[in-house]
């Protein structure tokens, strides 16, 4: 299923629920985003899913915090990607705001439309001033990954 940033289901052109079973890259992107924005034990059926970034709310934007955010995201995503195929960058863009980019090397197949050697990049802004706010970014060509 495809959903909005707030978790509401999206509709397709016919008004039905938008299904991602035909778009494997969108489905993967949604899974990455869900893991990053979730807290541990938030999902009753999957209590081990989530990066728990709300823990960083109110922290200053330092190199140490960025390193902890990077490690937390990477650790959480090991549920769906191997460490050797996964890279995470945390880039400061404000006093309490960072850009988190996740790059995943995936196998190119006819089903996902990737070319050999092409990777998938997911990026989002995390604002941790008062309450953790996440905003996905879609214009990622400048980050060297495939925009999904």
The CATH number assigned to the domain holding 30 equals 3.10.450.40
- Domain-embedded: residue 77: yes
- Domain-embedded: residue 15: no
| Best CA proximity match to 139, nearest among 118, 124, 117, 127 | 124
Percent pLDDT > 70 in the chain is: 76
Q: Return d(Cα 38, Cα 53) in angstroms, integer.
A: 8
Taking only the tens place, the pLDDT of each residue in 8-67 is: 566 767 777 666 666 777 778 888 988 998 888 887 888 888 999 988 988 888 999 999
- Domain-embedded: residue 1: no
Q: How many domains does the chain have?
A: 1
Q: Return d(Cα 148, Cα 137) in angstroms, integer.
A: 10
pTM given for the model? 0.77
Taking only the tens place, the pLDDT of each residue in 121-139 is: 899 888 887 666 777 666 4
Domain that holds residue 46: 24-147
Q: Name the 3-class secondary structure at 32.
A: helix
Asked if pLDDT for residue 141 goes beyond 50, the answer is: no
Q: Token pair for residue 133?
A: 């706010």
The sign of the torsion formed by the CA atoms of 78, 79, 82, 87 equals negative
Tell me whether residue 20 is exposed, middle or buried, using C-beta atoms within 10 angstroms of its C-beta: 0 to 12, 13 to 18, 19 or more.
Answer: middle
């Amino acid at each position: 299923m495809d959903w909005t940033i707030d978790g509401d289901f999206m509709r397709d052109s016919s008004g039905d629920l938008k299904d991602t079973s035909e778009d494997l890259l969108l489905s993967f992107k949604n899974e990455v985003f869900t893991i990053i924005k979730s807290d541990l034990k938030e999902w009753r059926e999957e209590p081990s899913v989530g990066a728990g970034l709300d823990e960083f709310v109110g922290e200053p934007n330092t190199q140490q915090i960025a390193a902890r955010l990077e490690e937390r995201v990477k650790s959480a995503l090991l549920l769906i990607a191997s460490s050797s195929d996964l890279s995470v960058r945390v880039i400061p863009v404000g006093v309490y705001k960072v850009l988190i980019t996740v790059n995943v090397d995936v196998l190119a197949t006819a089903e996902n439309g990737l070319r050999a050697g092409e990777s998938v990049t997911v990026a989002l802004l995390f604002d941790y001033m008062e309450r953790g706010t996440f905003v996905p970014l879609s214009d990622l060509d400048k980050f060297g990954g495939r925009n999904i």
